[in-house]
Amino acid sequence: MLDNRAALVLNADFRPLSYFPLSLWSWRDAVKAVFLEKVNVLAEYDDAPVRSPSFEMHAPSVISLKEYIAPAKRPAFTRFNVFLRDQFCCSYCGVKAVTSELTFDHVIPRSRGGRTDWANVATACGACNLAKANLTPKEAHMPLRHTPAEPTVYELQARGQAFPPNFLHESWRDYLYWDSVLESD
């Protein structure tokens, strides 16, 4: 039962370290961090006791770091972050797809001096990537839906909030999307 009991990890300011992927630790890592006094337990699983011969506690479901970890100043240039920036949609036809069905395309082909950086890489579905081939978007008559640019860390976090994981434990809900607008009576 414990194997599917992940703990939501919050920074010392009570924001998730990451929204996408959601910052989760295994119950083992969370319990270890509790014993090393690196985290505070904010919520626990009622039905998941952790036992040893001399100790028992409930598995943590939400923990916060005791020391603040400053977010990176610039996002890492990774395939996944390019897909997240582009909201998992092809920059040419707009089709939304799962990561395994997406590629990234050099807007100015590398063979023509195009660089592999935020400003020259766009998400593409396989069909559009093949159709564009070694051409520029103008030559291929395939205009980009948006101009590729380096996102901020905060923009990527906001994009990640739009893609909640398949499972959200009820104890996590008070700590996720806490900066969203609250309904009024």
How many degrees, rounded to 5, is the angle at CA 171 between CA 41 and CA 168?
120
Task: Please check whether residue 50 is in contact with residue 57, taking contact to mean a CB–CB distance below 8 angstroms.
Answer: yes
Distance CA 41, CA 171 (A): 12
135 or 174: which carries more pLDDT confidence? 135
Residues 108-151 have pLDDT tens digits of 999 999 999 999 999 999 999 999 999 999 999 999 999 999 99
Model confidence, pTM: 0.74
Amino acid 28 reads R
Strands (E), 53-108: 55-65, 102-106
3-class DSSP state of 4: helix
